[in-house]
Chains A and B, each alone.
Chain A
Amino acid sequence: MGFSVSASTAVIFAGLFLALGIFYPAMANSYERVQAADADQADRALEQANTDIRLDDITVTGNQLEVTLTNNGSTSLTVSDTDLLVNGTYIQRSELDTTVTDVDGNDDSATDLWLPGETLAITYDTTETVDRVRIVTEHGVSVSEEV
């Protein structure tokens, strides 16, 4: 009788250890996965809060629209991720010509980087009258203005 109790207790404890061995890695992996996603979201929220753009000027010369913006925040932005909407219509990125002017006044139309303090000029050939312009950059930060 005495040995039966010890043996069955040993089997149950072995089962408990096995169960814990299965449970722990699953919980640890799950927690880390969600934690990493959370940290990523916090990073994005911080970058969004640090991002700010200012609309300096909108000029329409003939059928060419030129929008000048300044990166007023403290994050570097991507020129090719900056979108233009004219009268509510989305303009494809391939149709935009961009020039970044750095803080020393040097123009660069090939760069994809728009750093804090730099000015971005977007030109677009339009056939319609421009009433309203909206610019959306990374993290969904946007400015819009009536012309």
Chain B
Amino acid sequence: MASVSVSHLIIFIASLVVAAGVAGTLTTGVERVSNAVEDGSLDVSQQVRTDIDIVSDPSSPSIDSSDNLTVHVRNTGSQGIFIQPESIDMVINGDFVPNSGFTVTDANGDRSTARTGDVMAIEIDDSYIDGNGDGTTGNRLYITINSDEEVYEFRY
């Protein structure tokens, strides 16, 4: 009789260990997914809140004496944007502009964050712009900030 009790006890302990293992794995997995979903929702909500608009006039682009183009971008969303090249992705005429190819500043002061209604000045190096200044060559600038895309087309 004693051997029956012992074997029952062993099966009981084994079943508890297996059940605890399953429950533990399940909760760990669910917790991991929950954290990822929460992180994802933070990103998505920031992307939805980010909204930009190009202020610059396509008919008369602002190009200085050393042929650098300045584009002004207004934050029209409800999410602040850090005024730094890392916040902005740019493609001009199909070529990606690296962070070293442009500078970005606050157009009305020297703040480091563009809040709603603030304007940033982006100055792009002349080597990325097509044309010789006679106003016949079309250029297409594609700006992406936090998944919000804007297109600026102009002739130079």
A 100-135 to B, binary, CB cutoff 8 A, 1 in contact else 0: 000000000000000000000000000000011010
Kindly identify which residue among B48, B57, B76, B117 contacts A85, using a CB–CB cutoff of 8 Å.
Answer: B57
- Whether B34 contacts A12 by the Cβ 8 Å rule is no
How distant is A102 from chain B, measured CB to nearest CB, in Å? 22
Is B129 interfacial (CB 8 A cutoff)? Answer: no
Main secondary structure of the interface of A (DSSP, over half): helix
In chain B, positions 3-36 with a C-beta closer than 8 Å to chain A are: 8, 11-12, 15-16, 18-20, 22-24, 26-27, 29-31, 33-35
Known contacts A90-B56, A131-B60; A15 and B26 CB within 8 A of each other: yes
- Whether A18 contacts B18 by the Cβ 8 Å rule is no
Interface size of B by CB at 8 A reads 50
- Whether A23 contacts B60 by the Cβ 8 Å rule is no
How distant is B75 from chain A, measured CB to nearest CB, in Å? 10
Is B151 interfacial (CB 8 A cutoff)? Answer: no
Number of A-B contacts (CB under 8 A): 141
Question: What A residues does B76 contact at CB under 8 A?
Answer: 44, 48, 138-140
Q: 14 A–B contact pairs at CB < 8 A?
A: A4-B16, A9-B19, A15-B22, A15-B26, A22-B34, A26-B34, A34-B45, A44-B77, A83-B72, A83-B119, A85-B72, A88-B60, A92-B107, A134-B57
Q: Taking beta carbons and an 8 Å cutoff, which residues of A are in contact with B?
A: 1, 3-5, 7-9, 11-12, 14-16, 18-20, 22-23, 26-27, 29-31, 33-34, 36-38, 40-41, 44, 48, 78, 81, 83, 85, 87-90, 92-94, 131-132, 134, 136, 138-140, 142, 144
- Whether B45 contacts A136 by the Cβ 8 Å rule is no
Is B131 interfacial (CB 8 A cutoff)? Answer: no
Bound-state CA distance A141–B15 (Å) is 68
Question: What B residues does A88 contact at CB under 8 A?
Answer: 56-57, 59-62
- Whether A93 contacts B56 by the Cβ 8 Å rule is no
How distant is A86 from chain B, measured CB to nearest CB, in Å? 9
Kindly identify which residue among B26, B40, B41, B119 contacts A19, using a CB–CB cutoff of 8 Å.
Answer: B26
Q: Taking beta carbons and an 8 Å cutoff, which residues of B are in contact with A?
A: 8, 11-12, 15-16, 18-20, 22-24, 26-27, 29-31, 33-35, 37-38, 40-42, 44-46, 48-49, 51, 53-57, 59-62, 70, 72, 74, 76-78, 107-108, 117, 119, 121
- Whether B78 contacts A4 by the Cβ 8 Å rule is no
Chain B CB within 10 A, most for which of A9, A14, A90, A142: A90
Kindly identify which residue among A5, A23, A48, A90 contacts B121, using a CB–CB cutoff of 8 Å.
Answer: A90
Question: What B residues does A29 contact at CB under 8 A?
Answer: 38, 41
- Whether A87 contacts B60 by the Cβ 8 Å rule is yes
Bound-state CA distance A78–B53 (Å) is 17
